[in-house]
């Protein structure tokens, strides 16, 4: 039975795509479903099936009716067609609606042999803190496994609050990654997949040995720490 891991949080910019990329590194042959207004996981090439989602979900919900209900059909169909463990990067403003739909489809998904897990991202921001527990609760009836990553991008979430949000799910942490400006550009351009292929000699030639070595060290550390943060979820995905 193929497992499906949904990386979710309605708040934007909390690290969903970084975490999806870390999962793609940890589970090298897994297909990736990307749901977003525009395609970002370009470095993953043919592994990615991209589904365009209008950014203004609230607008879609307001219009109601058929369009809103059928919005996710191609995604659900792709999920049920999967034959390998699959990573789903659910874009901003989409997670709540998608999980509600999946909760309704729970019995049908089970009948189709799809096991869904969710990985919720939370940061110390009001929007993310408000959404995370809702997503955890919404997924509880149908998710086979639930994971929570505290991304310390905006500082730490208070421990008791974090435990309450987790609601029994496995919690891991990702430290805020401080990096050279050039390292951030390389991360932006090539994701995590390009990091093992970086040429140290070329970096040194271009930036000098000191900066070249720092860039490589920054990127290697970010890739490793992101992969550590997704380890429990990656283990479930291939299980
Ligand atoms: N722990 C961290 N330390 C430093 N930078 C981080 C960390 N987590 C994420 N980032 C950076 O923050 C930016 C936003 O992350 P990302 O694109 O993964 O968020 P997202 O949740 O997918 O956003 P969106 O909702 O727009 O899809 C990226 O540039 C990413 O590399
Ligand atoms: Mg993203």
- Element holding 11 (H helix, E strand): none
In a domain, 83, yes or no: yes
In a domain, 111, yes or no: yes
Ligand 1 centroid to residue 47 C-alpha, Å: 21
pLDDT band, very low/low/confident/very high, at 47 (cuts 50, 70, 90) = very high
Long-range CB pairs of 69-76 (<8 Å, 24+ gap) are 71/97, 72/97, 72/98, 72/101, 75/33, 75/35, 75/51, 76/101, 76/102, 76/105
**pLDDT score for 106:** 85
DSSP 3-state of 116 = strand
In a domain, 163, yes or no: yes
Ligand 1 centroid to residue 72 C-alpha, Å: 24
In a domain, 190, yes or no: no
In a domain, 185, yes or no: no
pLDDT band, very low/low/confident/very high, at 150 (cuts 50, 70, 90) = very high
Residue closest by Cα to atom 4 of ligand 1? 177
In a domain, 221, yes or no: no
In a domain, 189, yes or no: no
Ligand 2 centroid to residue 24 C-alpha, Å: 14
In a domain, 216, yes or no: no
Mean pLDDT of 100-128: 93
Cβ of residue 174 lying under 6 Å from some atom of ligand 1: yes
φ, ψ for residue 37 (rounded to 5)?
-70, -35
Full-model pTM: 0.95
Ligand 2 centroid to residue 137 C-alpha, Å: 22
Tally of domains within the chain: 1
What percentage of the chain carries pLDDT values higher than 70? 93
* Structural domain boundaries, residue 141: 3-179+227-238
Cβ of residue 88 lying under 6 Å from some atom of ligand 1: no
Cβ of residue 118 lying under 6 Å from some atom of ligand 1: no
Q: What is the CATH number of the domain that holds 92?
A: 3.40.50.300
Assess whether pLDDT exceeds 60 at residue 73. Answer: yes
Task: List, as one string, the DSSP characters of 124-142.
Answer: SSHHHHHHHHHHHHHHTTT
**pLDDT score for 70:** 81
């Amino acid at each position: 039975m193929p497992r499906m891991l949904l990386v979710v949080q309605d708040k934007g910019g909390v690290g969903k795509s970084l975490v999806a990329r870390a999962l793609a590194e940890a589970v090298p042959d897994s297909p990736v479903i990307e749901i977003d207004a525009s395609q970002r996981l370009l470095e993953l090439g043919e592994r990615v099936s991209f589904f365009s989602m209008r950014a203004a979900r609230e607008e879609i919900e307001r219009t109601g009716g058929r369009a809103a209900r059928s919005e996710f059909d191609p995604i659900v169909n792709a999920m049920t067609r999967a034959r390998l463990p699959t990573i789903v990067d659910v874009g901003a403003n989409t997670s709540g609606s998608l999980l509600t739909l999946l909760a309704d489809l729970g019995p049908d998904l089970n009948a189709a042999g799809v096991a869904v897990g969710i990985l919720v991202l939370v940061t110390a921001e009001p929007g993310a803190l408000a959404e995370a527990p809702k997503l955890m609760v919404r997924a509880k009836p149908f998710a086979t496994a639930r994971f929570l990553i505290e991304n310390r991008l905006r500082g730490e979430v208070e421990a008791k609050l974090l435990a309450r949000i987790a609601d029994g799910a496995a919690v891991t942490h990702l430290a805020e990654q401080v990096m050279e400006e050039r390292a951030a550009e390389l991360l932006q351009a090539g994701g995590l997949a390009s990091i093992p292929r970086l040429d140290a000699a070329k970096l040194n030639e271009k930036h000098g040995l000191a900066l070249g070595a720092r860039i490589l060290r920054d990127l290697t550390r970010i890739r490793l720490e992101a992969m550590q943060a997704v380890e429990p979820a990656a283990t479930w995905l291939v299980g």
